[in-house]
Structure formats: C-alpha cells, structure tokens
C-alpha cells in the first residue's frame, strides 16, 4: 500500500482523535484511509476483512502512542460503584466530602484512601484528574475526598501553613481525621489499611496528617507538596514553596511516623523540587536510585525512583519526574493540574499503600 499524503493526513487525524479519546472515530478514519478515502470523505460501505484486520492493528498502535487509554473506559469502570456527597462537623467546623464505594463492596473489610485536593480544586475535579475511583473499582478500595470550601480559604487550599491547622485534634487535621473515622465507622474498612494522599496544598496537609495521626494512617502519599512544619504563616509558606529555608525551627525535625511515597516534577515552578528532597531527608540520606525509561510511549516523561529506610525501619520512596510541572503525574485531562505524560502516580501510590499495612 502506497503511503501518499492523503494517507498520512488520515493517520494524523486518527492520532488526534485518539488523543481526544475518540477511539471509534479514529478507527473509522483508518478504515476510510485504507479504502483510499480522504479524511473528509464520507464513510463507505463496510470494510473487507483484511482492511478491518489492518485497521484494528493500526488502531492498537495509535492507541499505544496516544499515551492514554480512552477515557470512556475509566468512566465505565468507576460508574459501577457509588459516588455520594456527605458532611462532617466537629468543634473546628464543618466539611463536605465525597465518598466512592466500589461495586465489589460487601462484608469484607476494604482499604480506605483519603484524597486531599489542591488549591482551586474540589472533590469531583480531583477524582476526575487522578482517576483514583477507577483504580479503587479495580482493586476494591473505598476512596474519600474531603472538600475545602472557599470560606475556609479563598483559593480552596488546605491551610497547611497555619499553626492552628498543624496540630493533632485541632483545626483542619481534626476535620480530616474525623471524616476518616466516620467512614471507618459507617463502612466495612480494614483499619490496618487506611491511607492518605494529596496534591500541592493537599500534599502538604497529607504530610501533616501522616505525622500527627500515625495510628490512623498506615502510609501517605505527597504529590508536589511540602514537609510538615515547613511554615507557620503565609510569608513563610511562600518562602518554603520557593525552596527557601523556613524561619521556624519546626521544619522537618520530627522522626518519620509512617511509610511515605513522594511524587514531584523537577520543573515544578509552584512548589520547588527541593521540598521533595526535604520530605525524604527525615527518612535518611542513603538512597538507592534507578533511572526509569519512558516505557516506549511517545512523549512520556523519564523519571528516577529513589528509595530509603529510616533508622527505625520506615520506608520512603521518591519519584522525580523529569521536566514535569506542578501537576498530578499520569493524570487525566478531565481534571485540572494533571500531567498525562508522566508515570501514573495514582497507580504507584496505590501499589505502595497496599504493600504497607499498619505496623502497630
């Protein structure tokens, strides 16, 4: 078959449709091109069996190089479960949260993952971007998304930099812990497999929760966040985000309390990459590293994984995503602040979590 300009144009269109998650449309374009039609041509009659076979193979190749599975697949998977809105209140205030319960939920205790969104986001946005509900459906986990309202922070950021929101049983930590406990009490949850993760301000708050509630959370994930104690007010928070040393003596001085997985892009212009190294510093200086290839995917980012274990035997894992911005690695474009070209942070965090149940 001669690869003329029309055929190449058709392949470009098919590729673009795959990137837009229109697998059916892309396959139609390929079949039309194999029959000699142009991208703008009307669909002809049903293709012959050889053409169907070739187009199927081409479609498979294009899908691999599109670097993302069709979004309707994730939609179909996560829609099998139940995603509902609830509310929790205590002396510190009130917060709504969204709860995903997988279709496989029965009498068997399931892992619980608490997901803390970043600034300007909400539960629906964060769930769509991280695709954690689809993974929870696949691995039979419950996921809860606490929501930070605008009246608590004008940008809907978790207030990780306020001293009143850094202590156990007070401020926002008490609300997040209260939501976690409420889900545990209302559902069949394996209390040895309760985890917390977050992005940016949510990642910084996840680091605080891991330090303050090691009896509640078995492991934590921090994506593009900062260590607990990095700041005590807004000016010190901005300095910490830029990578400067905080004036507070509380910066990362505590021993690590639970296993930690960190994701951070080394081109992050919002929260400096040095904060990822600072998170790991508490676990130890001796880190084994391995550079990872791009897994053969066009446009995929390279990354380096480093692992270390604290003197007390607490493990930590750092994923440095090379050239990545301030965004959830491997996330879906359905949500904000996502980087589809990176390794799948959601899948790797879930893998790390399930390998580290509560030690106590």
Domain shared by 58 and 147, yes or no: no
Count of domains for the chain: 2
Domain shared by 268 and 345, yes or no: yes
Q: Is residue 359 part of a domain?
A: no
pLDDT at 254: 72
Residues of the chain with pLDDT under 70: 1-79, 244-253, 285-299, 360
Say how far apart CA 178 and CA 197 lie, in whole Å.
Answer: 16
Say how far apart CA 140 and CA 144 lie, in whole Å.
Answer: 13
Q: Is residue 308 part of a domain?
A: yes
The two structure tokens encoding residue 329: 């690695």
pLDDT at 72: 44
pLDDT at 303: 94
Domain shared by 184 and 329, yes or no: yes
* Number of residues assigned to the chain: 360
CATH (domain of 118): 3.40.50.1820
Place of tokens 């639970």: 258
Q: What's the domain range around 246?
A: 71-354
pLDDT at 176: 98
Q: Is residue 360 part of a domain?
A: no
The two structure tokens encoding residue 94: 């009130």
What is the percent of the chain where pLDDT is above 90? 65
Report DSSP letters for 152-182, one per residue: T-TT----TTSGGGSSTTSHHHHHHHHHHHH
Long-range residue pairs from 339-343, CB within 8 A, at least 24 positions apart, any chain: 339/265, 339/301, 340/67, 340/68, 341/67, 341/299, 341/300, 341/301, 342/265, 342/300, 342/301, 342/303, 343/292, 343/295, 343/300, 343/301, 343/303, 343/319
Answering whether pTM is above 0.95, one says no
């Amino acid at each position: 078959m001669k690869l003329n300009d029309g055929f190449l144009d058709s392949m470009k269109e098919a590729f673009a449709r795959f990137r837009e998650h229109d697998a059916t449309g892309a396959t139609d374009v390929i079949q039309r091109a194999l029959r000699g039609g142009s991208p703008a041509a009307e669909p002809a009659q049903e293709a012959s069996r050889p053409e169907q076979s070739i187009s199927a193979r081409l479609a498979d190749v294009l899908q691999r190089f599109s670097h993302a599975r069709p979004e309707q697949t994730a939609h179909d998977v996560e829609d099998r479960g139940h995603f509902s809105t609830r509310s929790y209140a205590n002396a510190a205030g009130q917060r709504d949260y969204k709860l995903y319960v997988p279709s496989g939920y029965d009498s068997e205790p399931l892992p619980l993952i608490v997901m803390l969104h970043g600034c300007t986001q909400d539960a629906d946005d964060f769930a769509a971007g991280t695709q954690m509900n689809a993974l929870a459906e696949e691995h039979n986990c419950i996921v809860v998304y606490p929501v930070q309202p605008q009246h608590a922070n004008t940008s809907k950021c978790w207030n990780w930099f306020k001293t009143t929101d850094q202590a156990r049983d007070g401020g926002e930590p008490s609300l997040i812990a209260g939501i976690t406990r409420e889900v545990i009490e209302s559902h069949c949850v394996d209390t040895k497999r309760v985890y917390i993760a977050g992005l940016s301000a949510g990642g910084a708050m996840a680091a605080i929760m891991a330090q303050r509630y090691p009896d509640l959370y078995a492991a934590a994930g921090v994506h593009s966040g900062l260590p607990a104690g990095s700041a005590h007010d807004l000016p010190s928070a901005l300095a910490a985000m830029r990578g400067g040393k905080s004036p507070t003596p509380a910066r990362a001085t505590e021993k690590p309390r639970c296993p930690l997985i960190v994701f951070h892009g080394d081109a992050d212009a919002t929260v400096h990459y040095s904060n990822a190294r600072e998170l790991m510093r508490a676990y130890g200086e001796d880190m084994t590293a391995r550079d990872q290839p791009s897994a053969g995917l066009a446009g995929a980012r390279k990354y380096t994984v480093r692992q270390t274990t604290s003197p007390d035997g607490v493990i930590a894992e750092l994923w440095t995503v090379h050239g990545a911005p301030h965004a959830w690695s491997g996330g879906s474009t359905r949500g904000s602040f996502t980087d589809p070209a990176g390794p799948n942070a959601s899948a790797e965090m879930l893998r790390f979590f399930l390998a580290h149940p509560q030690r106590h």
